[in-house]
């Protein structure tokens, strides 16, 4: 095992999908490092390979060349220590909100009894403002409330890594900003290494410690920048000079990746 100070490492990762027309290159010689308990946002043109990157980190895909490592250990299969949340919460309608959140604890090996599991789930639901909704069915909740429950489910088993694939993309602007603040509070308390895929540059600047701009397919790390926002950030901070300047820089990088501007 290689000892590393990074929680997640991608080392010269190259991957292509097999198609009837031949290999479709998606990621090319991509190298990234993500520190323990850090939050990394990944942005880039549509179809550039952002979601492929998350599948490689989770072990759902194995790269054709290069390595993905978690805590210095090479990823060769899906990992139970990785939690995931998506744009569609995919909650099970026949289960209550509490039982939906508890689902990973029924699958991932752990030493918690039913009472301890419910206590853990209840704490998370309280953090996201869903106390009192434990016995409701998903259809009885709004879209934003279902996404809050989905976030709780993704971290209830205390994963080492949390992957978020556009979890707020289908929500209205007000609900989305509310969930940004909730997500920031969750990652601060839980100290999970988080990877966010998003098309929303404001979301990336608000939530992330570092922002990675991927080039067009096959993706490489075109640009990496650190967010200027501190640990006590609020959404209004996005309208201060440094974040505003960074947003303009990121827009420029996306346009370069799309071939609309030169570096």
DSSP for the chain, please give it.
Answer: ----S-SEEEEEEEEEEEETTEEEEEEEEEEEEE-TT-EEEEE-STTSSHHHHHHHHHTSS--SEEEEEETTEEP-S--TTEEEEESS----TTS-HHHHHHHHHHHS-----HHHHHHHHHHHHHHTT-TT-TT--GGGS-HHHHHHHHHHHHHTT--SEEEEESTTTTS-HHHHHHHHHHHHHHHHHH--EEEEE-S-HHHHHHH-SEEEEE-SSSB-EEEEEE----TT--GGGGGSHHHHHHHHHHHHHHHHHTTSS--
Is pLDDT above 90 for 110?
Answer: no
Q: Cα(16)–Cα(35) distance, rounded to whole angstroms? A: 27
Q: Is the CB of residue 171 less than 8 Å from the CB of residue 178?
A: no
pLDDT for 133: 96
Specify the pTM: 0.91
65-69, 110-114, 193-197: segment of lowest average pLDDT? 110-114
> Which residues neighbour 239 within 8 Å (Cβ) at sequence distance 6 or greater?
none
Q: Higher model confidence: residue 261 or residue 227?
A: 227
Question: How much is the average pLDDT of 57-73?
Answer: 92
Q: Are strands 210-214 and 221-226 parallel, antiparallel or unpaired?
A: antiparallel
| pLDDT higher than threshold 50 for residue 2 | no
Residue range(s) occupied by CATH 3.40.50.300 in the chain: 1-79+189-263
CATH: 3.40.50.1000, 3.10.20.740, 3.40.50.300, 3.40.50.10470. Which one for 1-79+189-263?
A: 3.40.50.300
Strands 82-86 and 161-165: parallel
Query: What pLDDT is attached to residue 142?
Result: 92
pLDDT of 76 over the 50 cut: yes
Per the prediction, the chain carries an average pLDDT of 91
Q: Is the pLDDT of residue 244 over 60?
A: yes
Is residue 261 predicted with pLDDT exceeding 80?
no
Of the two residues 65 and 80, the one the predictor is more confident about is 65
Q: For a pLDDT cut of 90, what percent of the chain falls above it?
A: 71
- How far is residue 113's CA from residue 90's CA, in Å, rounded to a whole number? 25
Alpha-carbon span 155 to 81, nearest angstrom: 10
Q: 4: pLDDT confidence band, cut at 50, 70 and 90?
A: low
For residue 20, what are the contacts with CB-CB under 8 A and spacing of at least 6?
Answer: none
Q: Give the C-alpha separation, 77 to 61, whole Å.
A: 8
Better-predicted residue by pLDDT, 259 or 64: 64
> Which tens digits make up the pLDDT trace of 136-182?
999 999 999 999 999 999 999 999 999 999 888 878 888 899 999 99
pLDDT(1) > 60: no
Q: Can you tell me the distance from the alpha carbon of 238 to that of 44, in angstroms, rounded to the nearest whole number?
A: 20
Rg of the chain's alpha carbons, rounded to an integer? 19
Is 3's pLDDT higher than 50?
A: no
Is pLDDT above 90 for 255?
Answer: yes
The confidence score (pLDDT) of residue 139 equals: 95
**96-120 average pLDDT score:** 92
Residue 263: per-residue pLDDT: 61
Reply yes or no on whether the pLDDT at 15 is more than 60: yes
**pLDDT for residue 64 is more than 90:** yes
């Amino acid at each position: 095992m290689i000892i590393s100070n990074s929680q997640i490492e991608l080392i010269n990762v190259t991957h292509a999908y097999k198609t009837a027309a031949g290999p479709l290159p998606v990621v090319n010689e991509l190298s990234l490092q993500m520190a323990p308990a850090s939050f990394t946002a990944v942005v880039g043109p549509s179809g550039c390979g952002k979601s492929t990157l998350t599948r490689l980190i989770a072990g759902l895909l194995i790269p054709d060349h290069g390595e993905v490592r978690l805590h210095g250990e090479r990823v060769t299969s899906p990992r139970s220590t990785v939690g995931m949340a998506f744009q569609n919460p995919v909650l099970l309608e026949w289960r209550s909100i509490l039982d939906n959140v508890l689902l990973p604890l029924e699958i991932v090996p752990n030493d918690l009894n039913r009472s301890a599991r419910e206590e853990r789930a209840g704490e998370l639901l309280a953090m996201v403002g869903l106390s009192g909704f434990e016995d409701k069915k998903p259809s009885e909740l709004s879209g934003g409330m279902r996404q809050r429950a989905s976030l709780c489910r993704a971290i209830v088993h205390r994963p080492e890594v949390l992957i978020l694939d556009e979890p707020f993309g289908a929500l209205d602007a007000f609900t989305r900003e509310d969930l940004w603040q909730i997500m920031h509070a969750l990652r601060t308390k839980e100290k999970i290494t988080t990877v966010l895929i998003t098309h929303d540059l404001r979301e990336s600047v608000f939530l992330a410690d570092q922002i990675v701009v991927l080039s067009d397919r096959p993706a490489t790390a075109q640009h990496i920048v650190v967010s200027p926002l501190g640990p006590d950030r609020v959404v209004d901070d996005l309208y201060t000079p440094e974040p505003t300047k960074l947003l303009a820089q990121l827009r420029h990088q996306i346009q370069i990746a799309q071939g609309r501007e030169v570096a």
